[in-house]
Amino acid sequence: MRMPLLLGFSIPVTLVVVLIYGGMAYSPQKRMEYPPQYGLNDRIEAAREMMNIRMHGAGPTTGIPELEITHTVHDFGVMPLERVGSTTFHVRSVGTGRVDLMDGGKSCQCVGFKISDRQLEPGETAEITIEWRTSEATDAYLQNVVLKTNCEAVPELRLEVIGRVTETFSVQPSAVVIGRLLPVDTEAEGHAWLYSHEWDEITELDVSISDARFEVSLDDELEGAPEGLVGKWVRRLSVRTPADLESGHLSAVVTVTGKGTDGTPVRLTIPLEGHVTRRLSIIGNSIDANGLIEMGTLSPFQGASRVMTIRVNDEDTRLSLKQVTCDQDCIEVEMEPINGAEGLYRLTVRVPEDRPDGAHAGTEAAKLKLEFDHPRVEPVELRVSYVALSRLGR
């Protein structure tokens, strides 16, 4: 058999046709299975049937194909997460010609289907089994499988499955969000809502947190809950922070355990998300998160300066420079209040024109330490990076 030239087809289509031709040429009984995640098996089988029809005609009968199906929609009702539901549709050939069933696609990879017979002679019946795996909770879902037919009255057969997906025990949002805290904040609170679609009560409920400095509690308050949150059992989880937390990211985990009304053990781990700012922040395009101030490459006899903003995050916003220390004496530093902006100061770092030549970057960057006359503001260590071209022209 000569292999026809496959032009104008995408690579997956060409691959399917090549696989079919190879299978048909080698053995009519050959049925190679491919990994299901690629979706090749159904496409190959459907294409094989289409090619068989084109090569051998519609079969021994020359009548009119007609089909009959009792229903095209199945309601799975309420299903929990990560379950598989299965239902079977029955298609019967009721005409005088053969009915051909070919794959027309499906709405989601979470839907699988099998057909007992793709060619039905008059009076024969095929079973079409659809399986659907629940992957996320939703008030209502609709998925479908489409079959192409050679029936003039029903050229496309659409089979649908519907229902609701519930969660036995879950939380929204997935984390307790505290957000951004200033060191002056005496306390802050974050919330999440525990809920169950199936159980009226969670017994033996226990709530704990990995950091004993935080307080956790449960109540019936629904105000502020995520929109659309419903359940037979709903409780608000609250986490309260202490005062005077150190700067940096909050890292704590809430653990909730209990039992459903049917005795099923449940467990949730819920992270805490938040960040405490420093009592002093330096902001600007020229400074990065690690305190590196970039001056760039300086031509001979060229200096440079960078201006940044200091913000004091404390109830006492008064600030003054107490001492400046640098391993390069040429670096100059100035700080002055910004008029009309409480707690904001203008910081200027300058490399003068008579700076030393050479590369002062990476590990060789100038080390700068700023100390302030404030009881709660710690010293700040910065680095100044620049490359100074030689003034001698070499």
Of 28-37, 86-95, 169-178, the one with minimum mean pLDDT is: 28-37
β-pairing, 99-106 with 119-120? antiparallel
> What's the CATH fold of domain 63-166?
Immunoglobulin-like (2.60.40)
**280-388 falls under which CATH superfamily?**
Immunoglobulins (2.60.40.10)
CATH 2.60.40.10 range(s) for the chain read 63-166, 170-276, 280-388
**Per-residue pLDDT at 202 exceeds 90:** yes
**Per-residue pLDDT at 258 exceeds 90:** yes
pLDDT in the model for residue 62: 67
pLDDT digit string (tens) for 261-276? 989 899 999 999 998 8
Between 3.30.70.2740, 2.60.40.10, 1.10.3720.10, 1.10.10.10, what CATH number should domain 170-276 receive? 2.60.40.10
Q: Per mean pLDDT, which of 29-43, 157-171, 361-375 is the most reliable?
A: 361-375
The model's pTM is 0.52
| Higher pLDDT pick, 52 / 143 | 143
| Higher pLDDT pick, 22 / 294 | 294
pLDDT in the model for residue 28: 38
